[in-house]
């Protein structure tokens, strides 16, 4: 049992790390709040003083704001749906005994360690290119015209690219949960006449509820800031401009740091709302 002396020593040893973490978080946040109340145009006059809430009003009243929020939520929801559905299927498959099981698991998990920029470039040039891409050759083999993915179905294409990278993460979490399931429950249900679908629906799926909520929480936090895949593939065109990409355009392309900082505050608010909502779901599942 920890004594008062050991707890004090632990707090002292943790203090430098906690301090650095707070500085790492609070300094950028403070600068964002500071610039969001000012008109700061680096190449067009520099700092022109306080404008208070004008940047917030201009950003939220922009015709691009709500479509960007909608696109962000659609992409996040689509990636979560693909990750969970196919993650469960892959986890069930990888849980079965097979030859070379360890190698197969490594290959399935490998995409998660690929940089988002590299992943987007591979999909854009090797798979989705309408002239020399793999999908184009498959379409021609069946006598159909190739699909120009990034302009015909841009949002779906982004969801495919991002899902390919995040699917291994979901699969790993769900596979761990499946392996912790008591096999005696499944054997007893099988002896009682329950079929594969019944065993999955009434035993396996409820057992995965906690793992699913964890996957949703973690992936949502990261997916709300998706940027690299859009920057490399569509450049925000064809209705794929997310809130993060809109902020990038305001800060770097329009050279309006104050307006972009106001957008950053809105992004923080949106992320916290979604995180609080998901934490309530996670908390309910963990209390069961």
Residue 181, pLDDT > 70, answer yes
pLDDT at residue 286 in the model: 53
HEC states along 159-225? HHHHHHHHHHHHHHHHHHHHHCCCHHHHHHHHHCCCCHHHHHHHHHHHHCHHHHHHHHHHHHHHHCC
**What CATH number does the domain containing 190 carry?**
1.10.3720.10
Residue 99, pLDDT > 60, answer yes
Find the DSSP H helices in the chain.
4-36, 54-61, 65-94, 101-109, 116-122, 134-141, 149-152, 154-179, 183-191, 196-199, 205-207, 209-223, 228-233, 243-248, 257-286
pLDDT at residue 1 in the model: 47
Instruction: Evaluate whether residue 80 is within a structural domain.
Output: yes
Domain span at residue 148 reads: 65-240
Instruction: Evaluate whether residue 88 is within a structural domain.
Output: yes
Instruction: Evaluate whether residue 267 is within a structural domain.
Output: no
Phi/psi at 100 (nearest 5 deg)? Answer: 70, 35
What CA–CA distance (Å, rounded) separates 281 from 1? 33
Which tens digits make up the pLDDT trace of 134-173? 888 898 888 888 888 888 899 999 999 999 999 999 998 9
What CA–CA distance (Å, rounded) separates 189 from 205? 14
Instruction: Evaluate whether residue 11 is within a structural domain.
Output: no
Lowest mean pLDDT among 6-20, 219-233, 258-272: 6-20
Phi/psi at 41 (nearest 5 deg)? Answer: -120, 95
Which tens digits make up the pLDDT trace of 7-53? 787 788 888 888 888 888 888 888 888 888 888 887 777 777 788 88
pLDDT at residue 214 in the model: 85
- Decide: 17 and 24 in contact? Cβ < 8 Å: no
pLDDT at residue 38 in the model: 85
Q: Which residues of 185-201 are buried (b: 16+ CB within 10 A; e: fewer)?
A: ebeebeeeebeeeebbe
Instruction: Evaluate whether residue 206 is within a structural domain.
Output: yes
Instruction: Evaluate whether residue 255 is within a structural domain.
Output: no
The pLDDT-based confidence of 78 (bands split at 50, 70, 90) is very high
pLDDT at residue 285 in the model: 58
Residue 131, pLDDT > 80, answer yes
Mean pLDDT in the chain?
84
Residue 227, pLDDT > 60, answer yes
pLDDT at residue 282 in the model: 62
Instruction: Evaluate whether residue 199 is within a structural domain.
Output: yes
Which is more confident, 90 or 107?
90
| pTM, entire model | 0.84
pLDDT at residue 71 in the model: 93
Instruction: Evaluate whether residue 212 is within a structural domain.
Output: yes
Lowest mean pLDDT among 45-49, 236-240, 278-282: 278-282
Q: Give the percent of the chain with pLDDT over 70.
A: 95
**DSSP label at residue 146:** P
- Decide: 127 and 150 in contact? Cβ < 8 Å: no
pLDDT at residue 161 in the model: 93
> Whose CA is closest to 154, among 67, 248, 75?
75
What CA–CA distance (Å, rounded) separates 274 from 268? 10
Q: Which residues contact 231 (CB under 8 A, 6 or more apart)?
A: 245, 248
Integer CA distances (angstroms), 274 to 238, 244, 268, 283, in order: 26, 15, 10, 14
Count the Cβ atoms, other than its own, within 10 Å of residue 88: 23
- Decide: 234 and 240 in contact? Cβ < 8 Å: yes
Structural domains counted in the chain: 1
Phi/psi at 287 (nearest 5 deg)? Answer: -80, -10
What average pLDDT does range 51-70 have in this prediction?
A: 88
Taking every pair of C-alpha atoms in the chain, what is the biggest distance, in angstroms?
Answer: 78
């Amino acid at each position: 049992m920890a004594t008062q002396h050991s707890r004090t020593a632990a707090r002292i040893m943790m203090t430098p790390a906690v301090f650095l973490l707070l500085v790492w978080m609070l300094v950028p946040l403070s600068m964002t709040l500071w610039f969001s109340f000012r008109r700061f145009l680096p190449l067009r006059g520099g700092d022109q003083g306080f404008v208070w809430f004008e940047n917030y009003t201009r950003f939220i009243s922009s015709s691009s704001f709500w479509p960007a929020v909608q696109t962000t939520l659609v992409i996040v929801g689509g990636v979560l749906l693909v990750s969970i559905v196919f993650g469960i299927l892959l986890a069930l498959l990888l849980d079965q005994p097979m030859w070379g099981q360890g190698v197969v698991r490594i290959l399935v998990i490998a995409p998660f360690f690929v940089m988002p920029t590299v992943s987007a470039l591979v999909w854009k040039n090797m798979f989705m290119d309408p002239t020399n891409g793999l999908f184009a050759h498959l379409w021609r083999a069946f006598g159909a015209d190739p699909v120009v993915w990034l302009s015909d179905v841009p949002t779906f294409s982004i969801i495919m690219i991002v899902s390919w990278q995040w699917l291994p993460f979901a699969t790993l979490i769900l596979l761990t949960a499946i392996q912790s399931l008591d096999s005696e429950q499944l054997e007893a249900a099988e002896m009682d006449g329950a079929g594969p679908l019944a065993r999955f629906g009434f035993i396996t799926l409820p057992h995965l509820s906690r793992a699913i909520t964890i996957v949703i929480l973690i992936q949502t936090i990261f997916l709300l800031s998706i940027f690299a895949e859009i920057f490399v593939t569509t450049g925000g065109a064809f209705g794929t401009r997310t809130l993060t990409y809109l902020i990038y355009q305001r800060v770097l392309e329009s050279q309006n740091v104050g307006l972009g900082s106001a957008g950053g505050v809105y992004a923080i608010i949106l992320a916290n709302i979604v995180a609080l909502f998901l934490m309530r779901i996670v908390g309910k599942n963990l209390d069961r």
